Amino acid sequence: MSKVLLLNSPHFTSIHRRTLSSFLTLSSPHLTLSPLPFHRLSCLFLSSPPSPLPSFHRRTFSVRAFDSSEEETKGKEVGPEVNKVDDGGETFAGPREDYPTGEFQFEEFSWWRKFTVKLKLLIAFPWERVRKGTVLTMKLRGQISDQLKSRFSSGLSLPQICENIVKATYDPRISGIYLHVETLSCGWGKVEEIRRHILDFKKSGKFIVAYAPACREKEYYLASACEEIYAPPSAYFSLLGLTVQASFLRGVLDKIGIEPQVVRIGKYKSAGDQLTRTTMSEENCEMLTALLNNIYGDWLDKVSSAQGKTREDLENFINEGVFQVERLKEEGWITKIFYDDEVISMLSERLGMQKDKNLPMVDYRKYSRVRKWTLGLSGGKDQIALIRASGSISRVRSPLSAPSSGITAEQFIEKIRSVRESKRYKAAIIRIDSPGGDALASDLMWREIRLLAESKPVVASMSDVAASGGYYMAMAAGTIVAENLTLTGSIGVVTGKFNLGNLYEKIGFNKEIISRGRYAELLAAENRPFRPDEAELFAKSAQNAYKQFRDKAAFSRSMPVEKMEEFAQGRVWTGKDAASRGLIDAIGGLSRAIAIAKLKANIPQDRRVTVVELSRPSPSLPEILSGIGNTLVGVDRTLKVLLEELTFSDGVQARMDGIIFQRLEGYAYANPIFTLLKDYLSSL
């Protein structure tokens, strides 16, 4: 078997709150997006009051077939004007400062609007009924998806979390929010988005408090944005800092007789290191250290500022290794030591509830069914299409893939074309949360996004990760917006195959091949190493794949190929560093992407728009019913993913797996072999 992977860092590096583990696999799951009924979301995260639209330069797209020759690509200036940022003598394209921020501005409803909301609440559906003075409760724990979720699905949805916070901001029946923050299994980009909404909610004057029974760096990052933090006496607080680890398989492979034959292009192509090395390379160490420094530095700055401390105070506290909840209270890192029932009693007293009355509360799921229309938050007549792309990229849906998960090029392209052909949408936003996948699929989607950008403004909004194939998609948009801690870039290639000859000899297995054609056995003969001419062809194919990716990135970002080469070579960047190097245009979340889309579409910033979701919440009821009976002690789903991982992919992969700040066990792109073993052992 052979795989070609366009990626940057260790193929499976998992960075979580305290540990960044890196490991490798050579294939990617083939998942899919669901069909496209429409769901509307009105946009109220408007930027500051009306102002004259600043001048801007729309990117002029050419949709001719891309010529990968360097001579034609060098120095092409087809992109938007960007600021220039000097960095140690080098001049990089910096983020545009004249883009609207999309910052939330809380505005009191007029008397007429308040009156219409009261009328709508009187005729609301039964499931939308909420008592006055109710507290919205949300338990933030486990995985958080960037896709919409149906009421039949478990888990949390980032768009629904954010929408609930916005609704609670204006809902006259909601007096405040009570957050339960526990161990999270998502990247830092989603955490930044939720944190921003918490800060926006506080502008309404309503209270928002956090309860943290199990808290590490990521959870505390969220909780620190709330007005108050409570924890039980036995709480697990582990604010010990972040680490980075790398795992290497070469020694294991040598013992069992497997020889990895890897071709690396670019000094940061550390995915191959997992197979060919026994220690971390200097380049890999440099890249991972930079990522770690960025995230740790941002965490120190945001948390210390929120708690009214200095960065040095927080660093000193962490370096003391404090785990006692009493110390956290004494030094002002939490508000009080309370059990959950004590916090509820305190909130009841604060709201003037009688002692014999229970505090009225509504949970995340029920409140998600309250329509924005009911609260007077419906959008305007101008519509912006929102297309979400989450998960691994494949060209067609695999029979083994789970419905409504992953990015399937065929279905994604249908959505893109429907937006391009429709006159109802003034602009489009592509929301990306993907480490990549099939390179051909990525290129086909790149083409369709560019065609769409010919007819209307397109803005790419990055979530946790938009790297390799995910960045391939994003770079086709006119403007790219990412969070400070989004992981992006990863423009690069590594390719290889396993020589299993020694293993076959050890276990007594033999394989013979009859072939026609000089290179017919290039991918079929895993029982022997490459011949010299085969190795040369294999290396050339990898070099060609890398050159196409890099040159298209340079073309899309209006950058000379030589400059793009400095930022490519498979390196992963945080959003902040990517912005300073011209790989993205602006720092922010979905609200800023909407504001920029309005700017590009000549829609005044103070005018509300309707954001139309071109995807349905998943899984649907039929999908749930079709899956009943297919799971036995959790192994069924893992086996499906494992089989996909072991299935030979159709050609080049544009993928960066694993660099996500979270626990390995909760990581959607983690190696399924380990998950399978865990499920099997737990079933005994």
Question: What 3-state class would DSSP assign to 350?
Answer: helix
What contacts 276, CB < 8 A, 6 or more positions away? Answer: 250, 260, 262
Establish whether 3 is a catalytic residue.
Answer: no
| 292 vs 633: which has the higher pLDDT | 292
Give per-residue pLDDT as tens, 419-448: 999 999 999 999 999 988 888 899 999 999
Give per-residue pLDDT as tens, 536-545: 999 898 889 8
pLDDT at res. 562: 94
Q: Of these residues, 204, 224, 398, 468, which one is catalytic?
A: 468
Give per-residue pLDDT as tens, 259-312: 998 888 878 877 778 888 888 889 889 999 999 999 999 999 999 999 999 999
pLDDT > 90 in the chain, percent: 57
d(CA 136, CA 197): 14
Per DSSP, the chain holds a count of helices (H) and strands (E) of 23, 30
pLDDT at res. 67: 40
- Residue 133 Ramachandran class (φ > 0 left, ψ -120 to 50 alpha, else beta): left
Residue type, 18: R
Q: Give the lowest-confidence range in 62-66, 437-441, 449-453, 527-531.
A: 62-66
Q: Where are the domains of the chain?
A: 111-240+321-373
**Residue 19 to residues 318, 370, 668: CA-CA distances in angstroms?**
15, 39, 17
Mean pLDDT of 623-643: 45
pLDDT greater than 60 at residue 237: yes
Establish whether 468 is a catalytic residue.
Answer: yes
pLDDT band at 406 (very low <50, low <70, confident <90, very high): confident
Superfamily name and number for 111-240+321-373: 2-enoyl-CoA Hydratase; Chain A, domain 1 (3.90.226.10)
pLDDT at res. 276: 87
pLDDT greater than 80 at residue 190: yes
d(CA 90, CA 303): 32
CB neighbour burial string for 539-562, b if at least 16 within 10 angstroms, e if fewer? eebbeebbbbbbbbbbbbbbbebe
pLDDT greater than 70 at residue 575: yes
Answer yes or no: are the C-beta atoms of 36 and 27 closer than 8 Å. no
Mean pLDDT of 573-579: 95
Mean pLDDT of 363-376: 93
| 200 vs 28: which has the higher pLDDT | 200
Average pLDDT for the chain = 80
Give per-residue pLDDT as tens, 49-86: 433 333 333 344 444 334 433 333 333 333 444 444 44
Give per-residue pLDDT as tens, 455-497: 999 999 999 999 988 999 999 999 999 999 999 999 987 778 8
pLDDT at res. 680: 41
Q: Of these residues, 167, 269, 309, 372, which one is catalytic?
A: 269
Q: Give the lowest-confidence range in 208-217, 283-292, 618-627.
A: 618-627
Structure tokens at 437: 């996948």
